[in-house]
Structure formats: C-alpha cells, structure tokens
Amino acid sequence: MNSMAGLRVLAISWALPGPGWLQEVVLKLAIAAMVILPFVSFVAMFSIWGERKVSGHIHSRLGPMRTGGWHGWAQSLADGLKLIQKEDLLPAGADGVLFRLAPYLAFAPALTAFLFLAWGRDLSGLTNTFNSGVFFLLATLGVQVLGVILAGWASNNKWSVYGAMREACQMVSYEIPLGLAILTAIMVAGSMNLYEISLQQGAGLHKWFVFHDPFNMLAFGLYYIAALASCKRAPFDLPESESELVAGYHTEYSGMRFSLFFFAEYASMFVVSAIQVSLWLGAWYDPFGVVARVEALRFHADGSIAWKYMVVANALGAGLFITKTFLLVYVQMWLRWTLPRLRIDQVLHLCVKVLLPLACVNLLAAAVYLWLTEPLPTFRFVVSVALAVVGVGLVMVIGAIIGMAWMRRERSTFKVMFTSSREMPDLPGA
C-alpha cells in the first residue's frame, strides 16, 4: 500500500505544479470528470434501456428492437439526442431561478455519491480513509429531496406541488427505517467506513453480513423496501403517479432538464443498491474467497507491486461489485412492473406502523444477539454457515424455476423470454 501511495504522489508531482493539497484536489476533480461522470451516464442509459426490455418481457412484448441493431441497444442514445433538441420551456408564473436549479440539485447528490463507493481493494481512493462514509452517502442522497421540492414549487402547477409534497413526506419518513436497518450492519462491522466493512466480508460467503445472523438478514429486506421508497420506485412512485398527477413534480419540464430527473433516479437506484452490496453482500468479493486470495499476491516480498495480480484482483472485484449491484437494480425494475401502486395512506401506514417498529425491534434484537454471542465465536460461525446454506438453497430453487421455464418454453403460451428464432423472427431493419 505504501508503494501505491508513493506512485500516486509521484504522478501528481510530475503532472501538476503547485502545492501538494492543490494537486490532489485537481487530480480528484479530473478523475471525477473523466471517469465518474461518463460511468454515471452509462449507468443511467443502460438502466433506461434495461427497464424497457424488462417491462417488455413482463408484458409479453419485445421492447426496443430497432435502434442500433441488436435488441435496440442504442435507444437511450437516440432519446438523448432527441431531448437535446427539445425546447427548454419555462412556464408562465414559474420561479425561473429555482425552476432551472432543481434538476441539477436532484442530479448532483447522486453523482457525488459515486465518488465515495468502494469499488475494489485499490479502487476506493476517497473511501478507505473516510470513517463516516455510510453516513455521508445517506446525507448526500437526502439532499435529492430538495431538488424535487424545488421542482414542484417553482413550476407554479398544482400537480407538481402535490407530487413534490408526496416525495418530501415519503422520503423523510422512509429514511428512518432505512437508517435503522443500516445500523444493524454497522454494529457487526464496528465501523462506518465502507472500505473496512467490505474488507471484513472477504473470506467467503459465510462472512457476508447478510448471513451473519437472522437479524441482519431481516435488516437486508427492510433496507431494500425503504430504498425503493427513497428512490420513488413502484409501488412507491407516488411523487410521479401519472394516473393521478399527469407526471408529478416534473410535469412542466422538457428537454435535458427533464432527462436530468431520470438520470438522477437511475443513478440513485444504482447507489442504494451499491450501498446494500457493500454492507451485506460481500462488496467486491466473491462467495468462494478467490478475489481475496488474488489480492494477497498484489505485492512482492520486497514491497514492489505485482502488476499482474494487482490488475486481475481489481478488475475481478470491480466486475463482481457492479454485477451484484445491477442484479439488485434489476429486481427494482422487476417489482415496478409487477406490483400495483399504493395509495399515500398505505405508503405511510407501511412506514410508520410496520417498517419503523419492525426496524427498531430488529435493531434491539441484533444488539442483544451480538452481546450474548460475543464469547461464543463457534456458535456465530455455525449460525452464519447455516444461514448461508439457506441462502444458497433459495438461489438454487429460483434457478431451478428459471431452468424449468426454459425447458418447457415450447409448450408455454408465453413466448417472449425464452423463444426460438423461428417463432419470433427479427423485425425488418433490426
């Protein structure tokens, strides 16, 4: 690690004149501009295309198929070009400054959160020394609600105001059970540093915090439900609810300002899923401890860098981290096109009378469990292994169901997800 730090300092000193602190700030901003922003754009565009494909299969449709050729992969790019050419409208009577500021205030927190995620063993430059990383990420995402409120209020439209007030009520309410669920994992780790939390889960599947005890497994589910609400995802998409409020808080927006709200939504979906992966699903580590063993070979005995293992370890880790995160994002899309939208009273009832008491009791039970089992490491190990076996069993059952659907596809009336080319030929020009 000292070799990596020295290499970074040498690169900064060679490339940039001026004080060391200024050089480091400039370098980090350059990395954010050249790496993080394009990656966030890719996440948003890929997620928009993916959601269209998911919704199409669930509705027995194909989804995008023409633009770009293979399965309409360039549809999001085409939509972006279209939105750039749209007129940037400002409603009569709207507050011009706040109306223009709102989309950026909604998008900037999601973009900032990407800088503080732990992507890999040596790909977490802003995270490994940040001891309040989890708290900072939650605080950053909480700022998004201000952008939504400003968008609704500044639009001078009653439907927009209704949507903004729903978002304020919903997000502030669900942040409480979401935070309590996170505390359950933090108690196990003894740290709020995402990098340290990730390192503690590297030995294998039984070390993932979701299998540490039954209370963390429950906290995993509580977090996911609260995260759906905080991201305004169905069945909690009341701030938009097109069947009631036209388009909710962004009714009056057009062009690129309109697209920024969607970029913020899909970026937030990725961030909350990434936090969940870091806290409970082993972060960048695989279930068998292979990545951890490769990481141990990153340095030679004399402290020099073994570049082959360094590259392989970080590439595998980042790939696993992004794959796990997109799997959770996929489930969010799946739920959107499966569950009906709740009423606002049902949303608040679920939070105040179900999730909040359950999260409080679960947190207390987790604390008691950790206190009672502290002198019993063998008992903790047996519980972790047993829960891991249960988790693997559930995954195998789901895989078996998918396999059966694939084998019986010829006899099924549902021919979209698993189909042959002769049954579903390519569209002309696709």
For 119, the domain range is 94-373
Give the pLDDT of residue 212: 94
Least confident of 137-146, 237-246, 247-256, 258-267: 237-246
Give the pLDDT of residue 2: 43
pLDDT at 244 > cutoff 80: no
pLDDT at 420 > cutoff 50: no
pLDDT at 282 > cutoff 50: yes
Is residue 413 included in any domain, yes or no? no
pLDDT at 11 > cutoff 80: no
Tens-place pLDDT, residues 97-148: 898 889 888 888 888 888 888 898 888 766 777 788 888 888 888 888 888 8
Tens-place pLDDT, residues 345-397: 898 899 999 999 999 999 999 999 999 999 999 999 999 999 999 999 999 99
Least confident of 68-77, 124-133, 154-163, 291-300: 124-133
Give the pLDDT of residue 6: 45
pLDDT at 235 > cutoff 70: yes
Is residue 322 included in any domain, yes or no? yes
User: How sure is the predictor about 20, in pLDDT bands with cuts at 50, 70 and 90?
Assistant: low
Tens-place pLDDT, residues 309-326: 999 999 999 999 999 999
Q: Total structural domains in the chain?
A: 1
The percent of residues in the chain predicted with pLDDT above 70, rounded, is 86
Give the pLDDT of residue 168: 83
Give the pLDDT of residue 86: 84
Is residue 43 included in any domain, yes or no? no
| Average pLDDT, integer, range 191-219 | 93
pTM higher than 0.85: yes
User: How sure is the predictor about 87, in pLDDT bands with cuts at 50, 70 and 90?
Assistant: confident
Give the 3-state DSSP-derived string for 190-215, with helices as H, strands as E and coil as C.
CCCCHHHHHHCCCCCHHHCHHHCCHH
pLDDT at 17 > cutoff 60: no
Is residue 388 included in any domain, yes or no? no
Give the pLDDT of residue 9: 47
User: How sure is the predictor about 184, in pLDDT bands with cuts at 50, 70 and 90?
Assistant: very high
User: How sure is the predictor about 12, in pLDDT bands with cuts at 50, 70 and 90?
Assistant: very low
The percent of residues in the chain predicted with pLDDT above 90, rounded, is 37
Is residue 414 included in any domain, yes or no? no
Is residue 188 included in any domain, yes or no? yes
Is residue 25 included in any domain, yes or no? no
Is residue 419 included in any domain, yes or no? no
